[in-house]
Structure 1
C-alpha cells in the first residue's frame, strides 16, 4: 500500500517541479569545473541556443599553471523527462597552450614540455537540468589531439553551473521582431510596377 502511494507522490513531485519552471534558456553563462588525469581546470562557459534543440557552447578553461584551452562546441539536445531535463551530444574544435609528456622507449625517460600550441577536436556528451534561472550540467568531454601534444587522447569530466541571461521566450520574441522589421523594410523598398510610368 505504501509503495504505490510513494510512487504517486514522486510522480506528482516531478510533474509539478518541471511544470513550475516552463521557460527554457536562450543564452546562459556560468562556471565550469573540469577534472582529468592530468589536471583540474576552472573556466567560463557560454551557451547560446541556435534552434529549438541545438546550442553553441564556448568554453575557456585553465588550471592557472601550464594548461589553458578554448573549445567551441555545437550540441544537439534531446529531452529525457521534460524540456527542462535533457541529454546532449556534440563536438567542435579546441585550441590552447598545454603541457605534453614525450616518452623515450630507449632511455625510459619522460620529457615534459609546456607552452605547446595545441589544436584538436572535442566531443561532448552530457545531461543538464534547467530550474528557474539556473542550468546545471554534467558532461564528459574527450579531446582528440591533432597537433602540439604527444598524447593523442585526453578525457575530462566537467560540472557546469550557468545562469540564464536570456530566456527562450524572450529570444523568440526578439527574432520575430527582427523578422517583422526585415519584411517591412523589404516591402518599402519594392515599388509598385505602376510607379515606373509616373
Structure 2
C-alpha cells in the first residue's frame, strides 16, 4: 500500500510539473550551503542547482548531522516568478538515499527503540521561495520525505535555508546554447556554390 501511494504521488507530481506554464530564473548554475532542521536532527549540507530547461532545474543535496543521519537528494524543480525573475517560488519532487536513525515504539513496554545506520530510500517533495541578489541566491524551503524502505517512520518533513553563489548566469547559459546551435547548423550547412554544383551535376 505504501509503495502504491508513493508511485501515485510521483506520477501526479511529474504530471503537474510537465503541464503547468513555465518561467525562467536568473541563474543557470548555482551552488552553496544548506541548513536543514526537523524533529530528528539539524543538518549541514551542500546544494547545487543546474538549469536544464528554460524553466526547470535539477537540484542535488548532500546533508548530514555528522552523527546519525546522512542523506542525498536529487530533485526536479519548476520555478515561477512572484515579482520578477529575481524573486520566485518553486516546487518539485525527487529521490532520496541515505543512512538514518529509526525509532520504533513498543506500546507494551512504553519504550522507544532507536536504531542507527539504517539504509533508507524514499520520495521527496519540495516547495520554497528564493531571491537572487548580488550574485547570490537565498532560499527557504519545506521538503517532506516519504520513506520507501529502511526507516520506521513513513513521513518526515524538513525546513531548509540555502545560500548559493551564482556560478553561471542564465543569460550566459542562453548565449552558450545559441552559440552551440549556430555552430551545429553551420557544420551541417552545404556551401552555396557547392550546392549549385551538386544540383547541376545530378542533372
TM-score by length of 1: 0.82
Select 2:132's aligned residue among 125, 130, 140.
130
Query: What is aligned with 1:12?
Result: none
Deviations 1:129-151 (A, max 9, x none): 00020000000011000101000
> In structure 2, do the counterparts of structure 1 residues 65 and 194 end up closer, same or farther at CA, with 3 Å as the change threshold?
same
Query: What is aligned with 2:117?
Result: 115
Once residues 165 and 152 of structure 1 are traced to their aligned partners in structure 2, the CA distance between those partners, rounded to angstroms, is 36
Once residues 139 and 176 of structure 2 are traced to their aligned partners in structure 1, the CA distance between those partners, rounded to angstroms, is 27
**Does residue 44 of the first structure (1) align with residue 46 of the second (2)?**
yes
The two structures, once aligned, show a CA RMSD in angstroms of: 2.0
Query: What is aligned with 2:169?
Result: 167
SS of 1:86 mapped into structure 2: strand
User: What stretches of structure 1 move > 3 A for 4+ residues in a row?
Assistant: 191-197
Matches within 5 A, 1:42-191: 42-187=44-189
Structure 2 alignment gaps of length 5 or more: 1-24
Query: What is aligned with 1:11?
Result: none
TM-score by length of 2: 0.80
Deviations 1:40-77 (A, max 9, x none): 00000001112222111101000011111111111111
Query: What is aligned with 1:9?
Result: none
Offset at residue 195 of structure 1 (A): 9.1
SS of 1:183 mapped into structure 2: helix
Offset at residue 194 of structure 1 (A): 4.4
SS of 2:189 mapped into structure 1: helix
> In structure 2, do the counterparts of structure 1 residues 49 and 195 end up closer, same or farther at CA, with 3 Å as the change threshold?
farther
Offset at residue 114 of structure 1 (A): 0.8
